[in-house]
Amino acid sequence: MANHMIARAPFGSTGHESSRVIFGAAALFSGHEGRAWKIFETLSTFGINHIDVAASYGQAEVCLAPILATHRSRYFLATKTGERGGDAARASLERSLERMKVDHVDMVQLHHLVDEEGWQTAFGPGGAVDALHKAKEEGLTRFIGVTGHGTGVARMHLQSLQHYPFDSVLLPYNYTMMSQPGYAAEFAALLELCARRGVAVQTIKAIARRRWREAPERRFSWYEPLRDEDAIARAVSYVLDRGQVFLNTSSDATLLRCTLEAADRHTPTANAAHAEAALRADLTGHGIEALFVPGMDEVG
């Protein structure tokens, strides 16, 4: 099989040239090692060199251990902690290192830091920010980031960046989210600040379709993805057309190759009006709905 090479770009000011598509390792939630090796064969085919995992992604970190044992140098490795207190955040990072059998990660991220109470705890005395900064000084991580979802996440990331020099932010970005004027304005402000400071911008939910309409439908994730290959290609191109951002892949492993193939074929959109018309048509043609709107930001 011929190898491809998805475009790479500087990951903020880290000095790492990351593939513009980042592997979202929530796809390894079940911990199926055989499936993991097949996934990494696919990642290698497309030149993906950046992994984004989290302590809360089921067995994903454990599943990564045998791969990292022989291929650690290939990947920028990032994990996340949902803890807000300092001792708990430090312990979470140490458990992640143990599960993946590595002595450090390239980046640890504060997972879903969007509520004010959690934010105050994380940034307060003895909070997660201080603890992770100390872990960085000790060499357990090279960089620190912050993630989140919901309509207020860009605003909260702006607040976080005013109080700590994070190396990366992560938040939703797709056509339906950017069709909300308030979110689009705050997203633009965040991108402007990140560009000035050299902060990497990761995006999630690129190929989201909508929330599951009935609870029994829920499978790999709390939301339903697109499955039409043409619609996926348009959604992927929408993200990659914004050269400043990276696209983190879906937790549905069955859509990984399709997403990577779309990214591999991507060229900058020449006719913006035509592209937007096609995205609008996808809203009705595929029943696409915003995952987050004001008043319904929580995960269903």
Over residues 45-53, mean pLDDT: 98
Instruction: Provide Rg for the chain, Cα atoms.
Output: 18
CATH code, domain carrying 99: 3.20.20.100
User: Which structural domain, as residue segments, surrounds residue 176?
Assistant: 10-285
Query: Is residue 222 predicted with pLDDT exceeding 90?
Result: no
Max Cα-Cα span within the chain: 54
Q: Tell me whether residue 127 is in a domain.
A: yes
Digit-coded pLDDT (tens) for 274-291: 999 999 999 999 999 999
Closest CA to 248 of 295, 180, 201: 201
Among 33-37, 112-116, 269-273, whose mean pLDDT is lowest?
33-37
Prediction pTM value? 0.96
Over residues 199-227, mean pLDDT: 86
Q: Tell me whether residue 291 is in a domain.
A: no
By three-state DSSP, how is residue 111 classified? Answer: coil
Task: Tell me how far the alpha carbon of residue 22 is from its chain's centroid.
Answer: 7
Residue 194: C-alpha distances to residues 66, 199, 201, 224, 248 (Å): 35, 5, 7, 30, 18
Over residues 27-31, mean pLDDT: 91
pLDDT, residue 211, reads: 93
The token pair that represents 53 in the structure block: 């995992």
State the amino acid at position 142 in one-letter form.
R
Digit-coded pLDDT (tens) for 129-149: 999 999 999 999 999 999 999
State the amino acid at position 190 in one-letter form.
L
Which is it for the CA torsion 158, 58, 255, 231, positive or negative?
negative
Residue 225: C-alpha distances to residues 21, 175, 205, 240, 255 (Å): 17, 14, 8, 18, 9
User: Is the separation of the CB atoms in 46 and 260 below 8 Å?
Assistant: yes
Q: How many domains does the chain have?
A: 1
